Amino acid sequence: MRQNILITGASSGLGAEMARQFAAKGRHLALTARRVDRLEALREEILAEHPGVEVVVRALDVNDHDQVFAVVDECVDELGGLDRVVVNAGLGKGGRIGTGKFAANRETIETNVVAALAQCEAAMAHFNERGTGHLVVVSSMSAMRGMPSSMTAYAASKAAIAHLAEGIRMDLVGRRTDIAVTTLFPGYIASEMNEQVEQEQRLMVDTATGVRSMVKAIEKEVGDAAVPGWPWAPLGQVMKHAPLGVVRRLV
């Protein structure tokens, strides 16, 4: 069982709800984000409901790459090792390419790709040293194809980290090791991030329901999964192969 779990971007949304659901399973947690006040409130909430769970809180701006490595090391020391790292921190800013939104699009790419790389590097270094561990990378169904308007840079960033995770997984093929890599492709799950997205989002599920699907896939340690599976697993295949006009109407 993967007992000690680090979750980045845990101050709200999917990260916070993952923390709640893993705590309900008795897992010990290392929770990181920039908004420490929210992390501390979440820790108090979790400890009140699950007093046997250990919860470590650390301030972390994932764009400070040196801090990423330092915080992972601190959490390793405090919990006595990490069994699972969930690369969840991300950003959804952006605008249509060529409309003066370069700064927002760049920030999304830097946070969702370069900072995710730093998190993967730190996690895998620890797992390789131990010979065991589970890396979880949270991508998005938008990674299936290029997306229009405010989602263009975001979708590209999520496609990039999906390929990053697959490359790490491929490196493990044939190795005698207890290291697993899971890529999650969430569909529309209610969170603070997608409150800011311009496009109307159909097929939205509430946070707890969506995260329950995520946690189930994580616990199975599948290679990749669309979550929730219905309707996103079949829709993902449509999004990959349908003409752009059809995909545009879906999103």
Domain boundaries, the chain: 4-250
Catalytic residues: 154
Q: Are 11 and 38 in contact (CB under 8 A)?
A: yes
Q: What confidence score (pLDDT) does residue 201 get?
A: 56
Which residues, at least 6 apart from 242, have a Cβ–Cβ distance to it below 8 Å?
250
- Predicted local distance difference test score (pLDDT) of residue 246: 73
Residue 198 has a pLDDT of: 47
Q: Is the peptide bond before 234 cis (omega within 30 degrees of 0)?
A: no
**What do you get for the CA distance between the two ends of the chain, in Å?**
38
pLDDT at residue 202, rounded to an integer:
65
Within a 10 A sphere around the Cβ of 86, how many other Cβ atoms?
A: 28
Q: Where are the alpha helices (DSSP H) in 50-200?
A: 65-79, 102-109, 115-130, 152-172
Q: Is the dihedral of CA 204, 208, 213, 217 positive or negative?
A: positive
- CA distances 45 to 23, 42, 49, 234, Å, are 11, 5, 7, 37
CATH architecture assignment, domain 4-250: 3-Layer(aba) Sandwich (3.40)
How far apart CA 6 and CA 74 sit, in angstroms, is: 11
What's the confidence (pLDDT) of residue 197? 47
pLDDT at 238: 85
Residue 138, both tokens: 């949270």
| Alpha helix positions (H), the chain | 13-24, 36-49, 65-79, 102-109, 115-130, 152-172, 207-220, 229-241, 244-250
Please state the φ and ψ torsions of residue 199, each to the nearest 5 degrees. Answer: -70, 145
Q: What is the pLDDT along the chain (251 residues), one digit of tens a residue?
A: 899 999 999 999 999 999 999 999 999 999 999 999 999 999 999 999 999 999 999 999 999 999 999 999 999 999 999 999 999 999 999 999 999 999 999 999 999 999 999 999 999 999 999 999 999 999 999 999 998 999 999 999 999 999 999 999 999 998 888 999 999 999 999 876 555 544 445 678 999 999 999 999 999 999 999 999 999 999 888 888 877 777 777 77
